Amino acid sequence: MAPSSETKNYDALLALTLANYRATLEDEISTSNAFFFALKQSDAWKGVANLGERVEIPLMYELGSADVFSGYDLIPIVPNEGISKAFFDWTQMAAAITISRIEERKNSGEYQLVNLLESKTKQALLGLQELFAKALLQGNGPNSATAIKTAYTSPTNGAAGFVPLPLLVSFSPTDSTAIGNINQLTYSWWRNQAADCAATTYAGFLKEMSSMYNLCSKGPGGGPNLFLCDRYVYELYEAAMWAKHQNPSYTAAGFPFDSLNFKGKPLTWDEFVPDAANSTITSIPVAAYGTLYMLNTKYFTVTYDTETNFITTPFVRPNDQDAKSATILWYGATTVSNRRKQGVLAGILTTMTS
């Protein structure tokens, strides 16, 4: 009688391991960046089942007609226009996981192979995290230092990514530029708040921060609830608060980022925040001038395809290579629906000391 034996389908094992890792992928991507995390916490990380040609965002740029009346006075029923749409193109992103046959053989035990796959998946995950953060905060800056308002463009195939933050919240909101297919020069209601910081003292800096916050808070919809800056501005704000003998630490359950408190909301930093005043990522901040974004996440979304939200494809072996690859895929877009509620304070002198 032949000894008992067991045949394992390692392709199936790899596919199952990747499928089980999908939730981890989505969670780690969205929690790797404070801005994406805040969006997800505020339910602005939205999935859609039917893509359509582009993402359509309804806009309301006028309020309805309202008036008082008495007795038999006519009530105004003139219909309002004041409603439009912004359009944002879908973006496709991918990271590959490749395993050679010799790697499979060297790690042929079930648990060894799973560990190898987890390492390679982590490698792909880190690549996606960095691409998300750079594409969001620096646009095409990694390929051309001053192209922070241009969507990240693949140097391999020329495909463009999602709309970057330096365009959605522009330091030059009166330039003749289309965001979401609407020109901000033509339509004043489609402009974000922006200011070139002139402060040379802590008190002046704090006053300009407060002024920008108030500009973004005007009208319905509330004020900014997330403040994002480079490390130098972060350290400047912390020093300014210490000088006032105030502890600026921000702590809140479920917010896993190092952050300070401004207006009761988190102020955090990211290494990829560009120098908006000089429109570059080179030597951030250029000549010691930093950038601070004030964001209202009610009017930002990351919209993704529910059928392509960090899914993994089956492993495929090409005819001319002793290896096989799977791909992690994501389809989505960054959008904004109310630019007036967003602001950027740039040209901040980060070397001030009192």
Q: How far apart are CA 181 and CA 104, in angstroms?
A: 49
Answer yes or no: is pLDDT of 215 > 60: yes
Answer yes or no: is pLDDT of 3 > 80: no
Of 24-38, 80-94, 243-257, 271-285, least confident by mean pLDDT is 24-38
Answer yes or no: is pLDDT of 58 > 50: yes
121/150: higher pLDDT:
150
Of the pLDDT bands very low, low, confident and very high (cuts 50, 70, 90), residue 129 is confident
Q: How far apart are CA 24 and CA 298, in angstroms?
A: 25
The region, left, alpha or beta by phi > 0 then psi within -120 to 50, assigned to residue 91 is beta
Residue with tokens 């095409």: 140
Phi, psi (5° rounding) for residue 291? -135, 140
pLDDT at 36: 72
Q: Are 266 and 258 in contact (CB under 8 A)?
A: no
pLDDT at 169: 97
Answer yes or no: is pLDDT of 8 > 50: no
pLDDT at 154: 92
Helical segments of 174-313, H only: 202-217, 231-243
Average pLDDT over residues 87-109: 83
Maximum CA pair distance of the chain?
Answer: 102
Q: Are 83 and 64 in contact (CB under 8 A)?
A: no
**Domains of the chain, residue spans:** 10-57+88-349
Q: How far apart are CA 315 and CA 120, in angstroms?
A: 13
pLDDT at 132: 84
Answer yes or no: is pLDDT of 314 > 90: no
Of 99-103, 193-197, 212-216, 350-354, least confident by mean pLDDT is 99-103
Polymer length of the chain: 354
Tokens of 318: 């090409």
pLDDT at 59: 75
Percent of the chain with pLDDT over 90: 44
pTM, two decimal places: 0.84
pLDDT at 1: 47
Q: Considering the chain, what is the average pLDDT of its residues?
A: 84
Answer yes or no: is pLDDT of 155 > 60: yes
